[in-house]
């Protein structure tokens, strides 16, 4: 076998190569966490020990506001100061936006030959947005292998805005003029997820009005526990205008997070959410495998018929998982010794 | 004690009164399912046996499209044919839309003195939309006490659109002209949740264009397993124009659901989702109560520090719940006899 060709590497080998800057090894690690297998657990154990150093930035906003152009410009700005930058682009699987997103990706090609920039497109969970379950794991990979900044770009449709705010240290919400009156009201919810707001395409008519509306609405948001006031930055991303100001605000937000204790609090909250979600998924998988597809369907049918109320049906599901665990663990466990951190 | 005053009634008494058309009893049942207590379980068991007969209709769309006016007109149309109609209005808790929603509620006052119409506002789960966990239970109450039609109105922000499609038999997506170009693309996801589309305010400029755009986009959606093609209905809700056509399309959709077997399939899927979500919530509550707030925080901290990977932390949480259950059930259970449907 020739050296350097595609023999299967251990997780440790992949990790060392990725840390040394090999984009193929980084890509293979990402594939590993995207596709559940025995090696996923091994990878997660290794990665957990090295993650937590990157500045993670979520960029979200409606289609057409110029998110990808902004992310490309942001990557350029971070490269100029020598940072290694990872980008996770969570694409909606909808056929309607697929084309446009693909087009946007092309603009990132300026960075394609730069090994200190790593770009990965990821599938979103469903037609209505929502991050893939692998997104936190992928973020952890890029963090652990040494990227200083990791940008997660999501199309602001449905659930993804909420989720990105739960995942990144700093969330950038991008708006642009020309998206109609209704959009401001429709998107009232974004006010609470944005740490920094960008009005992109701010050379266009109506940009000033968007900035004024946004600023007025932000004034009405009750300040959080640590009183960060989200700034509004005007950019023209395709001409790289305003990008330096955005980087300054992002740094200011991160400094504030660190000094206020907000970063530790946010990360603890994120870890808790992640652990609980994984535990629930594990529990449900056990319950399903015990009852089998037919057993779960029978429970659902009983609820539809009115023979069982949903709470009682849920109890049955819970008891099934417990019984299975009881049977499986009666020999190996039993002394309660496993609960040591 | 005077008869008819506010002595505490049994769940059975409340149910009988609500079925007989007493709106106060219906309201008390709804309060019961909104606030977890011992009586909730009792109520759910009773309701489960009587629900499943109502036609449930979700109405969603961005703020400003005129959803509430449309719902008021729809209620009027159903009343004309003698149907009893329940309305659940899921309000976003955001202070920005609170006022507008309150204003919309006023338009429903035309039906306020009609005992065959019951209107309830419900809080949404969070700032970014999403139905309250009590919404399915509230829907079941109105169904079980005999409303022929139950309309759930949600503001189409974030997650609620997805959830409403998982809850109602028929989902109406409302659009209106004048909401900008971006909205069509931003809302590509709605194409997949709508069973019937309404272009409201269709007397305004641009309505024809919205209908054309929508129809063109719908043509691109791959047909579902049963090949229902969602119709597009033009309405001017405040003048009650187009409402009869909407009722016709909703009836056509329901007939199609029934004859295609789609209704049974949809209800089975909804029941399964509900049971699994309740089981996961029950499991997590057990795990949290075993480990305590401090124990769960310790797990999260260990993940943040890199001492534990999230999967291993999740295992600890799962094992804690199992062990608690094992300890609690070693006497009363043990013969595996509880798994009878």
- Inform me whether the pLDDT recorded for A3 exceeds 60: no
Say how far apart CA B210 and CA B177 lie, in whole Å: 6
A218 inside 8 A of chain B by CB: no
Write down the residue that tokens 């932000």 correspond to: A218
Q: Please tell me which residue, A81 or B111, carries the higher pLDDT value.
A: A81
CB pairs under 8 A between A and B: 313
Tell me the fold of A11-260. Answer: Rossmann fold (3.40.50)
pLDDT at residue B104, rounded to an integer: 45
Question: Any idea where the domains of chain A sit in the sequence?
Answer: 11-260, 268-329
270-299 of A, contacting B, C-beta below 8 A? 271-272, 274-276, 278-280, 282-284, 286-287, 296-299
Spatial contact of B83 and B150, defined as CB atoms under 8 Å apart: no
What confidence score (pLDDT) does residue A82 get?
93
d(CA B108, CA A301): 36
Within 13 Å of residue B288, how many CA atoms lie on the same side as its CB?
A: 14
- Which pair of structure tokens corresponds to residue B167? 């809850």
The predicted pLDDT at position A95 comes to 29
> Which of A179, A268, A313 has its CB closest to that of B182?
A179
Q: What is the rounded distance in angstroms from the CA atom of residue A161 to the CA atom of residue A171?
A: 9
Q: What is the β-pairing status of strands B55-61 and B149-155?
A: parallel
pLDDT at A129 over 50: no
Q: Which of A127, A296, A311 sits opposite B44 (nearest CB)?
A: A311
Q: Residue B154 pairs with which residues in a beta bridge? A: B60, B90
**A312-337, pLDDT tens digit by residue?**
999 999 998 887 776 665 544 434 33
Nearest CB among B278, B284, B301 relative to A310 is that of B278
Q: What is the rounded distance in angstroms from the CA atom of residue B101 to the CA atom of residue A264?
A: 37
What digits encode the pLDDT tens for the residues A225-268?
557 889 999 999 999 999 999 999 999 999 999 998 888 888 89
Backbone dihedral region of A114: left (phi > 0), alpha (psi from -120 to 50 degrees) or beta? beta
Distance CA B90, CA B137 (A): 13
| Spatial separation of the C-alpha atoms in residues B190 and B174, rounded to whole Å | 10
Report pLDDT digits (tens) over B227-249. Answer: 788 999 999 999 999 999 999 99
pLDDT recorded at residue A29: 92
- A143 vs B64, more confident: A143
Nearest to B303 among A275, A279, A325 (CB): A275
Express each pLDDT in A60-105 by its tens digit. Answer: 887 678 888 899 999 999 999 999 999 988 755 332 233 333 334 5
Residues B314, A282: contact at Cβ < 8 Å?
yes
Q: Which two tokens stand for residue B314?
A: 């999740």
Three-class SS state of B312: helix
The answer to whether A338 contacts chain B (CB < 8 Å) is yes
Whether the CB of B223 is below 8 Å from some CB of chain A: the reply is no
Lowest mean pLDDT among B10-14, B33-37, B199-203: B33-37
Nearest CA in chain A to B333: A323
pLDDT of residue A339: 38
Q: Indicate the average pLDDT of chain B.
A: 79
pLDDT tens track for B17-41: 999 999 999 999 998 887 777 788 8
From chain A, pick out residues whose CB is under 8 angstroms from the CB of B280.
280, 283-284
Q: What is the pLDDT of residue A190?
A: 66
SS3 category, B241: strand
Contact B268 A301 (CB under 8 A): yes
Residues B117-164 have pLDDT tens digits of 888 877 655 434 455 667 888 999 999 999 999 999 886 654 555 566
Facing B179 at nearest CB: one of A51, A180, A271: A180
Residue A134: pLDDT over 90: no
Q: Which residues of B touch A129 (CB under 8 A)?
A: 189
CB contact under 8 A, A64 and B186: yes
Q: Does B260 touch chain A (CB under 8 A)?
A: no
Distance between terminal CA atoms of chain A?
A: 43
Between residues A41 and A221, which one has the greater pLDDT? A41
Q: Which of B103, B143, B258, B309 to mutate to test the interface with A (most CBs of A within 10 A)?
A: B309
Q: Is B95 helix (H, G, I), strand (E, B) or coil?
A: helix
State yes or no: pLDDT of B306 exceeds 60: yes
Q: Give yes or no for residue A34 having a pLDDT over 70.
A: yes
Q: What percent of chain B has pLDDT over 70?
A: 74
Within 8 A of A187 by CB-CB distance, chain B residues are: 157
Min CA distance, B333 vs chain A (Å)? 9
Element at B268 (helix H, strand E) = helix B262-305
pLDDT, residue A80, reads 92
What's the CA gap between A273 and A132, in Å, rounded?
Answer: 15
pLDDT digits (tens, 9 = 90+) for A195-215: 999 999 999 998 998 898 888
Predicted local distance difference test score (pLDDT) of residue A39: 83
B116 has pLDDT over 80: yes
């Amino acid at each position: 076998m020739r050296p350097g060709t595609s023999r299967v590497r251990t997780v440790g080998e992949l990790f060392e190569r990725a840390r040394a800057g090999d984009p193929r090894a980084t890509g293979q690690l990402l594939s590993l966490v995207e596709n559940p297998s025995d090696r996923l657990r091994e990878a997660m154990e290794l990665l957990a020990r090295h993650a937590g150093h990157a500045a993670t930035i979520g960029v979200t906003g409606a289609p057409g506001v110029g998110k990808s152009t902004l992310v490309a410009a942001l990557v350029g700005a971070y490269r100029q100061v020598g940072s290694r930058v990872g980008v996770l682009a969570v694409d909606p699987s909808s056929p309607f936006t697929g084309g446009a997103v693909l087009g946007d990706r092309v603009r990132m090609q300026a960075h394609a030959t730069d090994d200190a920039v790593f770009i990965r497109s990821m599938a979103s969970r469903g037609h209505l947005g929502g991050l893939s379950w692998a997104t936190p794991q992928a973020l952890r990979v890029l963090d652990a292998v040494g990227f200083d900044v990791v940008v997660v770009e999501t199309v602001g449709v449905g659930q993804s805005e909420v989720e990105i705010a739960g995942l990144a240290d700093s969330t950038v919400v991008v708006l642009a003029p020309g998206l109609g009156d209704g959009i401001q009201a429709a998107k009232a919810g974004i006010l609470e997820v944005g740490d920094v707001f960008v009005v992109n395409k701010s050379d266009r008519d109506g940009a000033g009005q968007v900035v004024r509306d946004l600023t007025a609405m932000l004034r009405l948001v009750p300040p959080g526990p640590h009183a960060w006031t989200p700034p509004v930055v005007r950019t023209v991303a395709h001409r790289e205008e305003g990008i330096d100001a955005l980087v300054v605000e992002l740094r200011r937000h991160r400094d504030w997070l660190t000094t206020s204790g907000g970063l530790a609090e946010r990360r603890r909250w994120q870890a808790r959410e992640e652990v609980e979600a994984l535990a629930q998924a594990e529990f449900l998988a056990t319950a399903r495998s015990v009852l089998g597809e037919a057993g779960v369907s029978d429970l659902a049918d009983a609820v539809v018929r009115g023979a069982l109320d949903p709470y009682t049906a849920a109890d049955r599901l819970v008891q099934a998982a417990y019984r299975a665990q009881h049977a499986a663990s009666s020999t190996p466990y039993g002394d309660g010794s496993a609960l040591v951190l």
